[in-house]
């Protein structure tokens, strides 16, 4: 049986395959549901480059609140206008590529079309998964040299991406830990009062989210707009941390009263729940220490052996994602076309925006994300 020659694919056909792959990857990606083109989305999705004197750049714009009080009565307004302050944050972009290769005619007598289909599936999942990993590592301020579970990557190119250099640790007023004994959110973390102070009992509780929401609002972190003047926040936990939360009586009491009764209740379905304007999400790529080496986890300085996670509490514009064009699909024959290869390259970038907050003495802080260290 003659094998189809990969070289016969037209550019139009390659475009169709690449768009189909990107559609699959978007559908598989967890963070896709949080993307939006405007400033009210949790992840602002930048799909076009902005031209400037420095060339074409991917830019996320943060708009500062007006500080003046206006004028009273018939007092003169002309000449007393206040200029709007906007702050552009540049998202550096780079290309991420991967490929797989057919072993050869004798290794696989199946059609080339099936190889294309299988390649599309595995490369779609790979792209979706790496996008999700980088999104949560960026939110948590964890180097791409690590997996979200704290394990060290070996031989990875992710740390060499241009935007990897812009990953930054949580800012001073956007970092806290949960004290499960006192049931208090600890802020202003310094020295030993960080993840090193976490003990086994500091697991997530509903009280923690109540305090996180108040903390966010006190610092003018905007929620994600839901229309009608309503806003909501998104909180993220690992499956292990969510399992601990589900054992909290206060959480379960609020959950029972906030959901539909009967078979449609999220108590039974395990779906994402919303309580008091907070969506609670469970996802494996939330930064945690389950894969970290002993001595690189949470807990006292004498051991650092306690597993924990970096619960993320997010409002609007917590993250910026540059997504430039559909992936590039390419095919190549090797050894006189005896074996075939398929590659995919995607141009993208991530940035956790920071902003000189006028309500906090113009201190530069993460714009819409709070990290809270908990045990799991």
Residues 119 and 184 in one domain: no
Is 340 a member of any domain? yes
Long-range CB contact pairs, 122-125, < 8 A, 24+: 123/21, 123/98, 123/342, 123/344, 124/21, 124/24, 124/25, 124/28, 125/25, 125/28
Return the SS3 of 217. Answer: helix
Residues 348 and 368 in one domain: no
- pLDDT higher than threshold 80 for residue 66: no
Residues 187 and 294 in one domain: yes
Residues 278 and 213 in one domain: yes
Token reading at 313? 């509490």
Calculate the average pLDDT of the chain.
87
pLDDT tens for each residue of 1-36: 334 444 456 778 778 888 888 888 889 999 999 999
Residues 22 and 134 in one domain: yes
pLDDT tens for each residue of 143-153: 999 999 999 99
d(CA 357, CA 343): 44
pLDDT tens for each residue of 128-169: 999 999 999 999 999 999 999 999 999 999 999 999 999 999
Residues 223 and 293 in one domain: yes
Residues 145 and 208 in one domain: no
- pLDDT higher than threshold 60 for residue 262: no
pLDDT at 8: 52
Domain residues for the domain of 349 are 6-66+84-151+323-353
Output the pTM of the full model. Answer: 0.88
Q: Could you give the maximum distance between any two Cα atoms of the chain, in Å? A: 89
Determine the straight-line distance between the first and last CA of the chain, rounded to whole angstroms.
Answer: 56
Residues 35 and 175 in one domain: no
| CA-based nearest residue to 62, from 359, 350, 356, 360 | 356
CATH classification at residue 340 = 3.30.2400
């Amino acid at each position: 049986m003659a094998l189809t020659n990969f070289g016969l694919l037209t550019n139009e056909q390659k475009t169709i395959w690449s768009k189909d792959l990107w559609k699959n990857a978007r559908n598989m990606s967890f963070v896709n549901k949080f993307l939006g083109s405007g400033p009210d989305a949790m992840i602002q999705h930048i799909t076009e480059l902005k031209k400037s004197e420095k060339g074409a750049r991917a830019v996320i714009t943060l708009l500062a609140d007006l500080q003046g009080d206006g004028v009273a009565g018939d007092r003169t307004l002309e000449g007393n206008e206040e200029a709007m302050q906007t702050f552009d944050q540049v998202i550096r972009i780079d290309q991420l590529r991967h490929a797989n290769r057919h072993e050869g005619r004798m290794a696989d007598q199946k059609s080339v079309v099936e190889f294309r289909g299988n390649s599309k599936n595995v490369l779609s999942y790979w792209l979706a998964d790496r996008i999700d990993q980088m999104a949560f590592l960026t939110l948590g301020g964890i180097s791409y040299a690590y997996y979200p579970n704290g394990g060290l990557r070996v031989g990875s190119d992710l740390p060499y991406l241009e935007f990897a250099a812009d990953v930054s640790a949580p800012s001073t007023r956007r970092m806290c830990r949960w004290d499960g004994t006192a049931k208090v959110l600890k802020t202003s973390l310094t020295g030993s009062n960080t993840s090193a102070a976490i003990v086994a009992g500091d697991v997530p509780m509903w009280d923690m989210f109540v305090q996180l929401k108040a903390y966010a609002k006190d610092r003018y972190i905007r929620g994600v707009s839901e229309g009608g003047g309503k806003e909501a926040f998104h909180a993220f936990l690992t499956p292990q941390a969510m399992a601990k939360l589900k054992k909290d009586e206060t959480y379960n009491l609020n959950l029972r009263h906030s959901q539909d009764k009967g078979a449609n209740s999220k108590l039974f379905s395990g779906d994402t729940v919303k309580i008091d304007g907070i969506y609670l999400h469970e996802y494996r790529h939330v930064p945690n220490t389950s894969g970290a080496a002993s001595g690189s986890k949470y807990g006292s300085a004498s051991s650092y052996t306690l597993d924990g996670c970096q619960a993320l509490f997010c409002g609007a514009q917590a993250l910026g994602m540059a997504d430039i064009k559909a992936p590039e699909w390419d095919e190549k024959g090797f050894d006189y076309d005896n074996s075939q290869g398929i590659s995919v390259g995607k141009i993208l970038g991530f940035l956790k925006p920071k902003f000189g907050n006028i309500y906090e003495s113009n201190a530069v802080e993460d714009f819409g994300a709070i990290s809270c260290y908990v045990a799991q």
